[in-house]
């Protein structure tokens, strides 16, 4: 479906392992003072001075986490970095370095890896990240990519998941559900393409959804915004699995309950229109879609005036006593217990 413009195929064996690593990493420039030694020795060296260190890692496997028939390799590289940076920002930290490990089968020529690293390079440049190492090996089948992100933070700035307090406000950044719908659109086009390889899909009605799926952005801007507004969240998490599941993580770990208001969920107009077209419930999609990479956090009520006019931030609920449970309050003012999958209409409270 996505045209392969680059027809040259250079076998990886022509370069050898060290030639390959050198070729792929030669254009990366060190941008952070804390990076003392990057790629090229047995280990990288960092100097984080008095700062605390954040470390997070993700493993992405072809056929499980991505499908190369509609995921261009450049986007895959970019996204693999974003999902990790998002975890650092969710701690309120500053992401500074990554390592990238790949396993590739001989089905992939050098040009494919160049594309992958173009995406990684763009992510590093845009987010001010140093690539400081990794590992390269072969796989019998498919592509596997693992990214580890490292961040720095002052001890007193760290925001955990387990520190939400009763009466705090629950806030989400951006909008929800678009990435999941983008995936549904791409899956549908893939099926059309398999039946008719000459079809030229017109995806303009879905451009925002597809961009959210293929080129998500981690919310580094929000960490800065909160600092500028002088707001330290009482708890925070990034939305990778879906809003419901993340709210449950905050509430379970903080030993609190929550009321989430259906009418407050921020939805892009394309999400609403596409849900109608696909006959999906937009609330279900917002709650369980996943891969939004937005931030979900709680703030103390006294900080509300500082955030209330901000277009990036929506208050979607508030924290209650643990005994009240974790609920969705519907537009019809019904309370429904939230589950990790979204909400379970069989467990209505009244």
Chain residues binding Mg ion by CB under 5 A are: 135
Cα separation of 297 and 235, whole Å?
5
Q: Which is nearer to ligand ADP, 135 or 277 (CB)?
A: 135
Footprint of ligand ADP on 55-74 (CB under 6 A)? none
Interaction between residue 40 and ligand ADP (CB under 6 A): yes
Q: Are 174 and 266 in contact (CB under 8 A)?
A: yes
Give least dist CB 133 to Mg ion, A.
8
CA neighbours closer than 13 Å in the CB half-sphere of residue 316: 28
Give least dist CB 21 to ligand ADP, A.
5
* Of 32, 20, 38, 18, residue with least CA distance to 106: 20
- Residue least distant from Mg ion (Cβ): 135
Which one of 100-108, 166-174, 188-196, 211-219 is the stretch in contact with ligand ADP (CB under 6 A)? 100-108
Interaction between residue 100 and ligand ADP (CB under 6 A): yes
Q: Which is nearer to ligand ADP, 80 or 181 (CB)?
A: 80
According to DSSP H, which parts of 289-348 are helical?
304-307
Interaction between residue 32 and ligand ADP (CB under 6 A): no
CA neighbours closer than 13 Å in the CB half-sphere of residue 67: 12
Interaction between residue 77 and ligand ADP (CB under 6 A): no
Burial class (CB in 10 A: 0-12, 13-18, 19+), 342: buried
Q: Which is nearer to Mg ion, 59 or 192 (CB)?
A: 59
Q: Which is nearer to ligand ADP, 12 or 186 (CB)?
A: 12
Interaction between residue 102 and ligand ADP (CB under 6 A): yes
Task: Give the pairing type, strands 169-173 and 143-153.
Answer: unpaired
Which residues, other chains included, contact 198 with Cβ-Cβ below 8 Å and sequence gap of 6+? none
Binding partner of 21, given Mg ion, ligand ADP, none, CB within 5-8 angstroms per partner class: ligand ADP
Interaction between residue 25 and ligand ADP (CB under 6 A): yes
Q: Are 99 and 148 in contact (CB under 8 A)?
A: yes
Cα separation of 32 and 39, whole Å?
14
Footprint of ligand ADP on 121-140 (CB under 6 A)? 131, 133-136
Interaction between residue 39 and ligand ADP (CB under 6 A): yes
Give least dist CB 20 to Mg ion, A.
12
Burial class (CB in 10 A: 0-12, 13-18, 19+), 306: middle
Binding partner of 40, given ligand ADP, Mg ion, none, CB within 5-8 angstroms per partner class: ligand ADP
Give least dist CB 151 to ligand ADP, A.
18
Lookup: tokens for 157? 């700035």
Which residues of this chain interact with ligand ADP, rule CB under 6 A?
Answer: 21, 25, 39-42, 100-102, 131, 133-136
């Amino acid at each position: 479906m996505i045209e392969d413009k680059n027809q040259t195929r250079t076998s990886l064996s022509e370069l050898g392992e060290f030639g390959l690593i050198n070729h792929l990493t030669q254009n990366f420039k060190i941008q952070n003072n804390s990076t003392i030694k990057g790629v090229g020795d047995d280990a990288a060296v960092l100097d984080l001075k008095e700062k605390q260190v954040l470390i997070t890692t993700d493993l992405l496997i072809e056929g499980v986490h991505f499908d190369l028939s509609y995921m261009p390799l450049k986007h895959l590289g970019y996204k693999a970095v974003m999902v990790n940076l998002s975890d650092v920002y969710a701690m309120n930290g500053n992401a500074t370095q990554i390592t990238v490990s790949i396993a590739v089968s001989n089905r992939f020529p050098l040009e494919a890896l160049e594309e992958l690293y173009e995406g990684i390079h763009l992510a590093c440049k845009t987010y001010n990240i140093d690539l400081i190492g990794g590992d390269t090996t072969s796989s019998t089948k498919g592509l596997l990519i693992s990214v580890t992100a490292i961040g720095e933070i002052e001890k007193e700035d760290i925001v955990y998941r387990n520190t939400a307090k009763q009466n705090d406000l629950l806030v989400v950044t951006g909008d929800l559900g678009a990435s999941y719908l983008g995936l549904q659109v791409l899956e549908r086009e893939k099926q059309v393409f398999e039946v008719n390889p000459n079809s030229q899909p017109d995806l303009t009605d879905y451009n925002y959804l597809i961009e959210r799926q293929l080129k998500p952005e981690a919310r580094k801007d929000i960490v800065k915004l909160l600092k500028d507004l002088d707001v330290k969240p009482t708890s925070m998490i990034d939305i990778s699995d879906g809003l419901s599941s993340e709210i449950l993580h905050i509430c379970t770990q903080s030993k609190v309950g929550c009321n989430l208001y259906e009418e407050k969920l921020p939805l892009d107009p394309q999400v609403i229109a596409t849900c109608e077209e696909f006959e999906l419930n937009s609330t279900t999609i917002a709650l369980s879609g996943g891969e939004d990479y937005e931030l979900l956090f709680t703030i103390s009520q006294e900080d509300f005036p500082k955030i209330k006019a901000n277009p990036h931030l929506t208050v979607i609920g508030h924290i209650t006593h643990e005994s009240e449970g974790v609920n969705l309050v519907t537009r019809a003012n019904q309370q429904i217990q939230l589950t990790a999958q979204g909400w379970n209409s069989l467990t209505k409270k009244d």
